[in-house]
């Protein structure tokens, strides 16, 4: 390829051009760097900026905490106590009845009641499935297109499967709620600043609540689809492992960016007294 220049010293151009190309290559490599990579047997996380933002402070959260008993523990293999076959139409009641039947069983010495096996097939589920008792497993069969497939058919935001104990809600401790003061709490963060005068201590079970505002919905242009701020007030359970002034250190990273300009969020103590899966 031939490049003609009509200005400057030819020698200077020849020197500058390779440097400029090298700079572009480095930028390209940086832009294409994986968000998560494996290096020397460990996961390495690269930071990124959300779309239309320049602050590269977010990172993919560490989801190793989401496993059985906090991760790193093999799942127990429970015996199948109830088998369900897919039927035409809504399968929610059918699956829920099987879950409830196994839940009513007597637990063994380890607290296990058994598994509900959903045979390979397509299950339309109009609503939420609830597992309210410990020691119950909902198990599918196979992999790929010929496996167990659950399709959430309810046309509104909802949880497909909810695991909850006998308590109601998070049992917010009265007077413990504090506003998050961090202007931008990035995805993957493990520390959060709260307003002065809080009563949080190490070991407290807490809830981080995202409180979106109308500006957030308008920025996303989602009012046309009926979005409301109350419908996206999400909550996340965490535990405090360190407190330094108004900075709380969490046991598990934040999985959603919280930005004061779009409503930010709150933190409050939780005191769940019922069985909690």
Strand partners, 118: 84
Among 185, 171, 181, residue whose Cα is nearest residue 269: 171
Q: Are residues 18 and 56 in the same domain?
A: yes
CA atoms within 13 A on the CB side of 277: 17
- Identify the residue with better confidence: 276 or 35: 35
As a whole number of angstroms, the distance between CA 129 and CA 165 comes to 14
Range of the domain at 145: 80-163
Predicted local confidence at residue 28, as pLDDT: 46
What is the DSSP code string of 66-132?
A: GSGGGTTSPPP-PPEEEEE---SSB-HHHHHHHHHHHHTSPP-TTS--EEEEE-SEEEEE-S-EEE-
Do 144 and 202 share a structural domain?
A: no
pLDDT exceeds cutoff 70 at 273: no
Which residues, at least 6 apart from 166, have a Cβ–Cβ distance to it below 8 Å? 132, 274, 275
pLDDT tens digits, one per residue of 92-116: 999 999 999 999 999 999 999 999 9
Is residue 75 in some structural domain?
no
- Judge if 138 and 59 occupy the same domain: no
The pLDDT of residue 26 is 47
Q: Which pLDDT value is given to residue 272? A: 74
pLDDT tier at 274, thresholds 50, 70, 90: low
Distance CA 76, CA 136 (A): 11
Residue 4, in any domain of the structure = no
- Dihedrals phi, psi of 51, to nearest 5 degrees: -55, 135
Rounded average pLDDT over 152-162: 92
Are 4 and 17 in contact by the 8 Å Cβ rule? The answer is no
Same domain? 110 vs 155: yes
Query: What are the pLDDT digits (tens) for 163-208?
Result: 877 666 788 999 999 999 999 999 999 999 999 999 999 999 999 9
Same domain flag for 199 and 244: yes
Task: State whether 191 and 125 are in the same domain.
Answer: no
Spell out the residues 6+ positions from residue 243 whose beta carbon is closer than 8 angstroms to its own: 200, 201, 202, 249
Average pLDDT over all residues of the chain:
85
Q: Band of the pLDDT at 27, cuts 50, 70, 90? A: very low
> Which of 130, 163, 196 is at the close of a domain?
163
Asked if the model's pLDDT at residue 246 lies above 90, the reply is yes
> Is residue 173 situated within a structural domain?
no
**What pLDDT is stored for residue 152 in this prediction?**
95
Q: Is 177 exposed, middle or buried (0-12, 13-18, 19+ CB in 10 A)?
A: middle
Residues 123, 89 share a domain: yes
Q: Is there a domain that residue 3 lies in? A: no
Q: Is the pLDDT of residue 126 over 60?
A: yes
Q: Are residues 48 and 98 in the same domain?
A: no
Confidence band of 2 (pLDDT split at 50, 70, 90): very low
Q: Are residues 58 and 101 in the same domain?
A: no
Which of 15-19, 191-195, 224-228 has the highest average model confidence (pLDDT)? 191-195
* Residue 122: band (very low, low, confident or very high) from pLDDT cuts 50, 70, 90: very high
Instruction: Please check the confidence at residue 12 and state whether its pLDDT lies above 60.
Output: no
CA distance 199 to 233: 23
What would the mean pLDDT of 22-27 be, rounded to a whole number? 45
Is residue 69 included in any domain, yes or no?
A: no
Residue 215: in which H helix or E strand, if any? helix 214-220
**Scanning the structure block, which residue is given the tokens 């097939």?**
121
Q: What is the pLDDT of residue 168?
A: 64
In a domain, 168, yes or no: no
Same domain, 193 and 258: yes
Residues 124 and 194 in one domain: no
Is 243 a domain residue?
Answer: yes
The answer as to whether 72 is a domain residue is no
Q: Which contiguous run of DSSP H or E holds residue 202? A: none
| Number of separate domains in the chain | 3
C-alpha distances in angstroms, 173 versus 201, 203, 205?
13, 14, 10
Q: Are 265 and 182 members of one domain?
A: yes
């Amino acid at each position: 390829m031939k490049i003609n220049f009509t200005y400057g010293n030819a020698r200077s151009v020849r020197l500058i051009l390779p440097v400029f190309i090298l700079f572009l290559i480095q930028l390209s490599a940086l832009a294409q760097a994986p968000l998560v990579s494996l290096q020397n047997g460990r996961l390495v996380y690269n930071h990124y900026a959300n779309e239309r933002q320049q602050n590269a402070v977010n990172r993919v959260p560490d989801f190793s905490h989401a496993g059985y008993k906090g991760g790193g523990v093999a799942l127990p293999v429970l015996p199948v106590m109830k088998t369900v076959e897919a039927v035409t139409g809504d399968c929610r009641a059918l699956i829920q009845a099987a879950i409830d039947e196994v839940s009513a069983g007597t637990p063994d010495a380890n607290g296990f009641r058994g598994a509900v096996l959903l045979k390979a097939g397509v299950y339309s589920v109009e609503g939420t499935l609830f597992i309210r008792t410990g020691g119950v497993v909902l198990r599918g069969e196979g992999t790929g297109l010929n496996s167990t497939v659950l399709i959430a058919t309810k046309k509104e935001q909802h949880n497909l499967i909810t695991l909850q104990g006998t308590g109601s809600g998070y049992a917010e401790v009265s007077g413990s709620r504090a506003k998050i003061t961090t202007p931008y709490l990035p995805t993957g963060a493990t520390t959060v600043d709260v307003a002065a005068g809080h009563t949080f201590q190490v070991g407290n079970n807490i809830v981080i609540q995202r409180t979106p505002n109308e500006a957030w919905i308008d920025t996303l242009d989602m009012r046309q689809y009926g979005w409301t701020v109350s419908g996206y007030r999400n909550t996340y359970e965490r535990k405090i492992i360190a407190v330094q002034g108004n900075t709380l250190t969490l046991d598990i990273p934040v999985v959603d960016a919280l930005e004061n300009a779009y409503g930010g969020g709150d933190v409050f103590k939780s005191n769940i007294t019922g069985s909690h899966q």
